[in-house]
A and B are shown apart, each in its own frame.
Chain A
Amino acid sequence: QKEVEQNSGPLSVPEGAIASLNCTYSDRVSQSFFWYRQYSGKSPELIMSIYSNGDKEDGRFTAQLNKASQYVSLLIRDSQPSDSATYLCAVPDSGGGADGLTFGKGTHLIIQP
């Protein structure tokens, strides 16, 4: 069983600042990594995927991957109150098959106005 570790928080960040969310994973052969955002009482929404070492940017979101350190992070620039949610890091249960994702416990992010 793969393990995905996240700090559960809450992580409190002032509005307009950069929020930094971190995730480590146990399986060295993992190739794909996903960040989901989940508002309270809602379903998870995919916001970023990353497959290669380095940075991937999409709007205010940047995903960073370091496979050697088995570490993936999500940066949210110019944080807004609407970014307040739980952010789930996820890795596939196998390589390329439809086997589902293993999720971390999630980091609860609070953006303070």
Chain B
Amino acid sequence: DTEVTQTPKHLVMGMTNKKSLKCEQHMGHRAMYWYKQKAKKPPELMFVYSYEKLSINESVPSRFSPECPNSSLLNLHLHALQPEDSALYLCASSQGARDNEKLFFGSGTQLSVL
């Protein structure tokens, strides 16, 4: 089973809303990632959790708040977003050691901020 599940698949929110994106994997992977992808651009790394601890924050604005409740779950809390934050948000996971580098992506959440 190489599945990473993301919900919701689509999300429309206003600039004053608070919403959360959810990600789940049951592959026993110990690293989980959030990427942001704008149309016709490559994915850009936002956050990395390794063994449930935030290990990388790529200078992401504080209106994006990640959370890793346990080794299988990853959330991204959204608050006071801007229209330019509209993008495909991708969750990924990887297992330990050498295969830390091999990322498996979820289907993504297409976010539109109005």
Chain A residues close to B by CB (< 8 Å): 32, 34, 41-46, 49, 88, 92-93, 96-106
Contacts and interface: CB of A to CB of B under 8 A. Distances in A.
A104 B56 CA distance: 20
Given A43-B90, A44-B43, A96 B107 contact: no
A41 B55 CA distance: 29
Contact of B105 (A41, A45, A96): A45
B105 A100 contact: no
A100 B103 contact: yes
Interface in B74-108: 88, 90, 94, 97-98, 100-108
A100 B90 contact: no
Given A43-B105, A46-B103, A101-B101, A93 B43 contact: no
A104 B41 CA distance: 9
Going nearest first, the 7 A-B pairs with the smallest beta carbon separation are A98-B31, A103-B42, A92-B101, A100-B45, A43-B105, A98-B100, A98-B50
A49 B100 contact: no
30 contacts: A34-B101, A42-B108, A43-B105, A43-B106, A43-B107, A43-B108, A44-B43, A44-B105, A45-B105, A46-B102, A46-B104, A49-B102, A88-B43, A93-B45, A96-B98, A96-B100, A97-B100, A98-B30, A98-B48, A98-B50, A99-B55, A99-B56, A100-B35, A100-B45, A101-B45, A103-B42, A103-B43, A105-B41, A105-B42, A106-B42
